[in-house]
Structure 1
Amino acid sequence: MSLKPFKTIGIGVTFSPNLKANIYEASRLSLMFRSKLILIHVGEKSSEKEIQFQSILEPFIKEGLNYEIVFKSGNPVEVILSTSEEKKVDLLILGALQRENFLKYYVGSIARKITRQAKCSLLLLINPSIERIACQHIVVNGLKDPKTKETIASAFYVASHLKSNRVTIVEEIKQEEIAVTVEDDKSLRKATILKERIKLRETSRINAIVAHIPKALTKNISIKSQPIFGKQGYSIGHYAQIARADLLVMNAPSKMTFWDRLFPHDIEHILTELPTDVLIIQ
């Protein structure tokens, strides 16, 4: 099973109220993953800006942070994407926006364009913090897809580095798989038996994936398999919210087509209302 470590972490930095919290989150992650940190600022270089970035980074530089600050003018989407490619960024951190007067978060237009076009993994942060908030519970998609093995392995790679103690693998099962109309006790029993068979099949498929993940990544972690029936993307987001997950790990969508834009892909449900921090594995 191929597992791509995060050797280089990138983050776009602007002089917003969240600047310090964003840099603290990115710096902590870079130290935990032993990665290089690339700060990408869309705009002209100046000594004042550099001094401000350096002063925020100071506590992490003392801990041995390997970092670089890139200043580049231009279109924010193009600058962040091109710099990420040039610097071989494996994980790009993006901030979410909060709806006014609501404790709800969504991905803004710039971040959404980057999410659709990025060739690296993405971490969408809903509430960056200066103080570290431990990531204890990770939820990861277990849907039947060629990318899922790598996504689940990546979830355990992240869990082991962040010292998380719980990973729940959620298999979203489409309602169409239970092609039984419930009209009486007999059809209800038939539907129930069919549901249980599908759950057993999905759980054994997930167990086979987990069995191939290096033991060093799964030790000391409580692992749960959770089959749920419902709409892909929406169901797992809702589950992550109810289960109070600290991080939701998802497959990156396959290449977007014209039709995907008309009929939203499962990841689009997540981007419209982020249930928690979201990691999209490319």
Structure 2
Amino acid sequence: MIHKIIVGIAFSPNLKANFFEAIRLANTFNAELIGVHVGVKTTAKEKELETLLKSAPLMKAKFTAIWQDGDPANVIIETATELRADLLIIGALQRENLYKYYVGSIARKITRKSPCSVLLFIKPSVERVPCNHMVVNGLENHDTQKTLQTAFYVSRHLGCKRVTIVDEIDQKALKVNVCDDKTLQEATVAKENMTHQENERIQRELAGVNIGDTIVKTQSIFGKRGYSIGHYAKVKRADLLVMNAPQKTSLLDRIFPHDLEYILSDLPTDVLIVK
């Protein structure tokens, strides 16, 4: 359930679009919206925010603005923790000068330490753009069913009727080196068997999920985790990609998990990372 949403406010060219998207989401979930600006509070910024509020859609619940100095990632994480937020929204600029700033350093730290789910916007719009297709990871992981439950909860509220669950399978799992017609056939059979097994697993995961009248498709992809699903979401022009939150599994992963590294390095679409 989403009752409290925090949106990072940066006075950039995308401010209006990001802010309007956040307000629409807050209205969709009937949630309280809290805007957090990390930086100096000035009269000009206050007036700009007031002007935006007057021109924005009427809010169902209350809006609160928080102004605070400090490290952007730390302030946002601490605020989300203190206020017990359910969703954190960050506007991201794709392939622009500020892209690495928002998506690189800040978003990586936030997705690793955020106490709640994180939504990264790369294509915010002042006018509402319908969400028609959602891609969700179907990894074999103890968090995946919760991610699926969240994805369908969000899809129902957004009116999205089409969801594709993508299971990324490591090519090495085949354990077959293709060098002739015989091994090619063995690899093909192994892929078919593995795909069937994974589809059955995903169906078991879905048994405890309320999918409503959503059209659900499952897709197995053999490739590098993170890169494959990001590429699939881009090719299929998905409106939202939903992923499990990163987990620390080794010393190297304390920097950042490798699967989300591929996605954050080149965001294919808006991304929801479920905690």
Taking structure 1 as the reference length, the TM-score comes to 0.90
Matched, 1:243 2:239: no
C-alpha contact (below 8 Å) 1:28/1:60 kept by paired residues: no
- Counterpart of 1:90 (choices 86, 90, 93) is 86
Q: Is the 8 A contact 1:44 1:73 kept in 2?
A: yes
Q: In the TM superposition, what are the counterparts of 1:73-112 in structure 2 within 5 Å?
A: 73-100=69-96, 107-112=103-108
Letter in 1 for 2:192: E
Alignment partners' CA distance in 2, 1:258 and 1:96: 28
Match of residue 169 from structure 1? 165
Q: Secondary structure at the match of 1:133?
A: coil
Task: Judge conservation of contact 2:111–2:246 (CA < 8 Å) in 1.
Answer: no
1:228 aligned residue: 221
Shift in Å, 1:258: 3.0
After superposition, give the CA deviation of every residue in 1:37-92 in whole Å (9 maximum; x if it has no partner). Answer: 01001134455533432331235563423221111122222211111111111111
> Whole-Å Cα distance in 2 between the matches of residues 63 and 85 of structure 1?
24
Residue 53 (structure 1) aligned with residue 49 (structure 2) = yes
How far does the alpha carbon of each residue in 1:151-209 deviate from its partner, in whole angstroms, 9 at most, with x for none?
11111011000000100000001111111122222222221111111011010111111
Distance 1:163 1:73 in 2: 38
Distance in 1 of aligned mates of 2:119 and 2:44: 28
Match of 2:259 in 1: 266
Q: Distance in 2 between matches of 1:88 and 1:262?
A: 25
| Runs of 4+ with >6 A deviation | 103-106
How many residues are matched? 274
User: Aligned partners of 1:97, 1:50: CA distance in 2, in Å?
Assistant: 23
The whole-number CA distance in structure 1 between the counterparts of 2:107 and 2:178 is 44
Aligned to 2:35, the other structure's residue is in SS state strand
**Aligned twin of 1:209:** 205
Contact 1:27 1:57 in 2 (8 A): no
Gaps of at least 5 residues in structure 2 are: none
Return the alpha-carbon distance in structure 2 between the equivalents of residues 267 and 190 of structure 1: 32
CA distance in 1: counterparts of 2:269 and 2:100, whole angstroms: 9
Supply the AA of the counterpart residue of 1:255: K
Question: How big is the alpha-carbon RMSD for the aligned residues of Structure 1 and Structure 2?
Answer: 2.3
CA contact (8 A) 1:99 1:106 kept: no
Give structure 1 stretches of 5+ with no counterpart: none
Matched, 1:146 2:142: yes
Residue pair 1:105, 1:274 contacting (<8 A) in 2 also: no
Q: Secondary structure at the match of 1:207?
A: helix
Distance in structure 1 (CA, Å) of the matches to 2:250 and 2:115: 16
The one-letter code of the counterpart of 2:146 is: E
TM-score normalised to the size of structure 2?
A: 0.92
